Structure 1
């Protein structure tokens, strides 16, 4: 008998927000789709690592029009309404149309800017827009950004006109798999492990008012060995004599405080440390104030955790350590796709659900696969105690030599020869992603490449990543062409577990199984298409699946004493025609009871 995640939701027609009366019905949908209201879309504060109170969400209904790619000025008329921030190809957008490289997507909205947001500096924030984005305020170009996975901000103060009424237009161009840019698993012709394109605004859009001199960002680095938290604050338009006051708090109790010049590192003692672990994910509070002549002119709140990720030899084999102790890391490959919103979860509750369910299943880690999520996803991982391996979204695929000898050192000729443009967009976006996500303690591993998908200049990219963030481990190319660089040797092996040879690699690098499993079970009424669904190994019923999965985990447990530090099972949910998930794509059916999974997994943590 199937075990349902929730009570069945009536599958009535999903009403379009286009205003044209044409219903848009997703093939399948999650239970949260019915909670999406055009006037209250993803209303949560989108930047939990730097919180201010004076802000306004611009999620909701915008005008849209699909124009030729050559169109550089906003259209006179629009085709209808689109629900931001759902991608235009998704059902929840109310549009569900493909754009492609030969066309551009235009957004338009007239807003009423309240007096509280009209003073000082007015910032327009975008969580993410895929891919190339130009923003116009009252007909004047305010800025441009390239990169589908990183947050960006424009100072729109010079472009505002008198009065409350302001017009915003956004032009987006996205060539999907016809361009060299990072795009993960998006393709114009979805099939197998490749999915529907995502174009346009897909994370929260919001406005914030700040003083003329303001706190732009912080960089929080814990050091559990020295029992300190290090905080460096970036201040825009700082004046001579300005100071930054940083206060570390346990709840509301002040622990330590320091005043430093903007851009100077504050080092705050953290006595009687409460270490952050999957079993006890304690978060400290942080208050950052900008002082001028001793008085605060700007302030924001944040948080941090005392957590360390490192490596050390045990019995001649490098092991992955959390807070100076070996903890076997085990988690699913998490694609972060939704049948109704594609890249965008219908609600914040839905976003948290996947992480909480993964935790309930007895995993302590998630590998976020060739996608970067909204900041709130990592915030939930921080709160719930979920370790994260963060992939760089892949792009410019094809043309590589993928070494077919698993666990062997590849020759230099396996690196892809990418164009200067391709290299530049990769390097720029990888840096932006790392900057955006640096403060989230849940992230313990950076993964620059997946398999040989666009893998280029492996040694150079890996060494740069290690130098740019020495506080985390770097998994150079998960399952890809291996070069003797980085902290980790990562093997992909389907369906049964395997590990890199400890005699060859164990003395220098951590040994991990970056992907395995892929056990498939399509369940009628919960699939993206009725027939021809795909899995690495397909089963007829849930009992068969459970028994085979249990065998795999028992085999995996036997590898840990041999030196295996971590493993990643494919995958959290089904995605489109791929039916390898532990849950169906609509999140309505657990293929294996989470309590059963939790019990099966305990053998991995008793080593």
Structure 2
């Protein structure tokens, strides 16, 4: 099947940590299925001869890939060639994958350079030892996937057909592949932590290449092009912590905070020197904002914020989980804001970093939710934990991310209500997350059966305002597990209790029209008037509850058989955006 439209992903894939020297490897690759898993035994990586072609980073299941085969194939192979630019000869050559699902193995010129397990986190290999500079290099990638419920898979189906709210699987490379060229001495990573109460920002550096001489780092912080602060340090250790006071005369407020209304960002350039020779230069940015909890409220920059979120699964008709373009991501964000929402719950998906970049720029709050496994086992615990820790560290610097959501609706922890092992797993993930990021709230098991959690989130698709108000007027009964909050699930797992956390209705609505196939929640409506009446009445019911501090409407767009979006899959609105906004603006 050939794609009806050609998509190209040419944007720099990691705008929060940008270098100038890079090569985009997206585009046409050779491709082959390997259903018998014969490729490694037959050493396809030495002499790849794949007759099919695929457009990376779109998976073979998508129309955009040029293949469009939705059936499951557990082993797939990719091949392309590349050359090292003359200007980069002598540097380390780093091969980077923004995401590939699920087990990825890589060979360069027939040399095995490494493997990575996980479908959501970015990863890289130093391939310097395997490349040559005087001829074309051969890059071969094998990706192994499965229908296992022990690997984090999110909304990807594990059967041959779609069912419920699970959709066509994603197999193989699904985000940008690229080369980066680094000197021996370079900046490996910088963790950036805003501290608005101290008017300062902390930088935690990891430096690479400390061998015989100390390295010097110089940093230049700017706001709107104006110089704010400069600092430098010399270090003979790979790890360095620096805190910088940001008070300056750039504005009467001295420090510019990030918020949805004013998404101010500071730019910063890091330069690494060995003696007096510049070795590495990186452009980054950060936002000065604080997320905290006090007296049953979520605070942004020490002020209560009412979160009006939209459930966003990040699927497109021709590209599935892969955003088709920068413009498509930006369109989703701008339409979300136009409807009066101030954030998204990015549901069961670790999104493209360029989406987070645009959320940082536009001021859209993000709940970052991990893709779930669906069975509990030792294997599932290891798979989930390893990948979740990668995700936190990779996305820590984005100011738009205001909440971490590792679990949803007891998926992967089906007996968490009473099973001590599964409860212990959720607690361990909570504390591991806090050990890497003490700034953001962590929601453990969004929807119901919470163990330890900074916010209590409840899912309820009740369609009638009166029934909704009657149920949630019993605040104490719901939050003490005396009654189920949605007629079938309790707010807390056994042995846990309400500790005064903020309460948010983090899934509701899901209204679908009667026309066409597919499903929504509750009765389907026949007209725009009926849709708006139900939408308004249930939303107003939530808004009227004094102890509820926000909501998340399901959902932004239709996704395959689930047709309860405010927008269709092609992003055309079902309801004029301004009419949705009027309801959201009432609080």
TM-score between the two structures when normalised by the length of structure 1: 0.85
2:23 pairs with 26, 46, 56, which one?
Answer: 56
Name the residue aligned to 1:29. none
Matched residue SS, 1:344: coil
Q: Which runs of no fewer than 5 residues in structure 2 stay unpaired?
A: 248-253, 414-421, 481-496
Q: Is 1:186 paired with 2:156?
A: yes
- Residue 285 of structure 1 corresponds to 267
Q: For 2:2 and 2:401, locate their aligned partners in 1 and report how far apart those are by CA, in whole Å.
A: 40
Structure 2 counterpart of 1:413: none
* Residue matched to 2:491: none
- Could you list the per-position Cα deviations for residues 67-109 of structure 1 after superposition, in whole angstroms to 9, with x for gaps in the alignment? 12353232742131100000110110011224646x3100000
Q: Give the superposition deviation at 1:394.
A: 0.3
Q: Match of 1:551?
A: 537
Structure 2 residue aligned with 1:519 = 511
Instruction: Provide the residue aligned with 1:124 in structure 2.
Output: 95
Q: In the aligned structure 2, how far is the partner of 1:522 from the partner of 1:303?
A: 46
Q: Does the 8 A contact of 2:511 with 2:520 survive in 1?
A: no
Residues 1:435 and 2:408 aligned together? no
Which digits, 9 at most, give the CA deviation of each residue in 1:496-522, with x for residues without a partner?
Answer: 467693674765311111111111126
Unaligned stretches of 5+ in structure 1?
A: 1-21, 26-33, 399-417, 525-530
1:264, 1:24 → 2: CA distance?
49
In the alignment, which residue of structure 2 is the partner of 1:258?
A: 231
Alignment check: 8 A CA contact 2:393 2:436 kept: no
Matched, 1:569 2:543: no
Q: 2:384: which partner in 1?
A: 426
Question: Quick one: structure 1 residues 50 and 23, their matched pair in 2 at CA, closer, same or farther if it must change by over 3 Å?
Answer: closer
Contact 2:461 2:521 in 1 (8 A): no
- 1:358-405 superposed Cα distances (whole Å, 9 cap, x missing partner): 01110001001010011100000000100111111101x15xxxxxxx
Structure-2 residue corresponding to 1:599:
582
**How many Å separate the matches in 2 of 1:512 and 1:534?**
22
Judge conservation of contact 1:490–1:512 (CA < 8 Å) in 2: yes
Q: What SS does the corresponding residue of 1:471 show, helix, strand or coil?
A: coil
The change in CA–CA distance for 1:289 and 1:225 in structure 2 (over 3 A counts) is same
Displacement after TM superposition at 1:221 (Å): 0.5
CA distance in 2, matches of 1:24, 1:533: 28
Q: Which moved more, 1:361-370 or 1:494-503?
A: 494-503
Residues 294-344 of structure 1: CA deviation (Å, up to 9, x unaligned): 44211101000110000111xxxx111000000100111110011100011
Please tell me whether the aligned partners of residues 534 and 577 of structure 1 are also in contact (alpha carbons under 8 angstroms): no
Write out aligned runs for 1:429-508 (5 A): 429-455=387-413, 456=422, 457-483=425-451, 485-496=452-463, 501=475, 504=480, 507-508=499-500
1:269 is matched with 245
Assess if the C-alpha contact under 8 Å between 1:390 and 1:445 holds in 2. yes
Q: 2:131 matched to 1:153?
A: no
Going from structure 1 to structure 2, the CA distance change for 1:24 and 1:48 (only over 3 Å counts) comes to closer
Higher relative contact order (CA 8 A, sep 6+): 1
Partner of 2:418: none
Q: For residues 499 and 150 of structure 2, what CA distance do their matches in structure 1 show?
A: 37
3-state secondary structure, aligned to 2:336: helix
Task: Please state how far the C-alpha of 1:534 moved relative to its aligned partner.
Answer: 4.3
Shift of the alpha carbon at 1:557?
A: 1.3
Change (3 A) 1:421 1:70: farther
Partner of 1:93: 65
Tell which deviates more after alignment, 456-465 or 106-115: 456-465
Q: Does 1:214 align with 2:186?
A: yes
Moved over 6 A (4+): none
- What's 2:343 paired with? 365
| CA distance, structure 2, for counterparts of residue 519 and residue 165 of structure 1 | 54
Looking at structure 1, the residues matched to 64 and 348 of structure 2 have their Cα atoms a distance apart, in angstroms, of: 23
Instruction: Give 3-state SS (helix, strand or coil) of 1:514's partner.
Output: strand
| Counterpart-to-counterpart distance in 1, 2:243 and 2:95 | 32
* Residues 317-336 of structure 1 aligned to structure 2 (within 5 Å): 318-336=296-314
Change (3 A) 1:536 1:194: farther
Provide the C-alpha distance between the structure 2 equivalents of 1:334 and 1:54, rounded to a whole number of angstroms: 33
Q: Secondary structure at the match of 1:478?
A: coil
Question: Counterpart in 1 of 2:175?
Answer: 203
SS at match of 1:158: coil
For the residues of structure 1 that align with 2:522 and 2:102, how far apart are their CA atoms? 31
Please, what TM-score do these two structures have when normalized by structure 2?
A: 0.88
Number of the residue aligned with 1:166: 137
Please tell me whether the aligned partners of residues 233 and 244 of structure 1 are also in contact (alpha carbons under 8 angstroms). Answer: no
**CA distance, structure 2, for counterparts of residue 487 and residue 533 of structure 1:** 33
1-structure distance, mates of 2:505, 2:93: 47
Task: Check whether the contact 2:323–2:352 (CA below 8 A) recurs between aligned residues.
Answer: no
Q: What is the rounded CA distance, in whole Å, between the counterparts of 1:166 and 1:602 in structure 2?
A: 56
> Matched residues in 2 for 1:302 and 1:268: separation?
16
How well do the aligned residues superpose, as a CA RMSD in angstroms? 1.8
Alpha-carbon shift at residue 126 of structure 1 (Å)? 0.6
Q: Does 1:241 align with 2:214?
A: yes
Residues matched between the structures, number: 535
- SS for the counterpart of 1:490 is strand
Deviation at 1:460, TM superposition (A): 1.8
Q: More deviation in 233-242 or 501-510? A: 501-510
Q: Determine the C-alpha separation between the residues in 1 that align with 2:59 and 2:195.
A: 40
User: What's the offset of the Cα at 1:266?
Assistant: 1.3
